[in-house]
Structure 1
């Protein structure tokens, strides 16, 4: 009889437990978060989210975001800010690739003359302004000259190759004659040289003393005969952002 009594109690306990379990409310699952993976060209741009600095720079991710729309602003010194609205979905990563606005300027054709027998005619070129300059000791802007047209070998040469000039400039010949082909300069390395002949028809990448890249092309040349010194006409595309190789 005692066994039946214990069995009845066990059945009652089991039924009560089942009833409680059946009537309980399961907790709502936690909402999944989303993320944004951000890259930029050039890299190293500050990432701002909804007007707040995230203290991150590209490439990097913003994680733990609720589903919704976010205003992402990239800031890069010397370039205009870029702001893009980005939609984030729960449990997903949104990829954002941004090309920052270029800060290049194309100057009008400038003529420079060979260094021998051209007193009063400019032999030097200042890349940042696209202006010619004399290179003699009395020339007011000689310290700003990046390159000059040398009578020795008839080359465009780094300014530091001339007496009294100090700015160091390097050259790398490109693969096209079209300055507007949007091809970026290769990174400055040991293959860059300090002079290029005036017979070069392709455009030339230039890296100056301030770590700015330019893209130049000799578009015309003449002179070099008695009574007429040699000269070259040059077009300069100057990138105003140091280290930015894009054009």
Structure 2
């Protein structure tokens, strides 16, 4: 079995199942910790700060985690914008999103503003209003660069699959006629910035997840090896239909030797 120097790991469906613990996920992380192998939890969820995600994993799923081990589409968005914006340039951003996104942008030295923003960023926001989309639409039509944290059509909760960030972005795309620059999985952008954070090359890291269309495709798009676990969204029937298969497949992460 191939050995990797680092791991990028999805969360829901891979390490836990909603609010429920997933022992196979916990044991997998414990094996990585025992072997001293670095890893990052790479998530499209832009609503939560790394501190919140780490506390949730530590306290509710018995997986000891630090904020530095969490890399979200919010952090990747801030890192991307920081890389293309001069320190003395226009660093005003109009953001539709929750605390995770707004905190990441402010920490990266951006100003949250409705006035002449250089960028409009749209992520998941359960309190979004029509007025917010109106502001975003007008700013993009006036020349602001349009960024989407991710284009997930739905997110799972206890009631089922509810609208995700991609559904909110669909409104902005339709209203502006502009395609956003996408940050999160399955795009390679989030993976490229996660590689910078972990300090490894693409051929040294494997992307682990349960969803072929986001996790596995992100790894493929970034030129990485991939490991699909059949504990979440994608099924054997799904994978039988795709041409570009995951590098590795396991029923559960108990079947993987780090």
| TM-score category (smaller protein) | under 0.3
Higher strand share: 1
> Higher Cα Rg: structure 1 or 2?
1
Higher helix share: 2
| TM-score where L is the length of structure 2 | 0.23
| TM-score where L is the length of structure 1 | 0.24
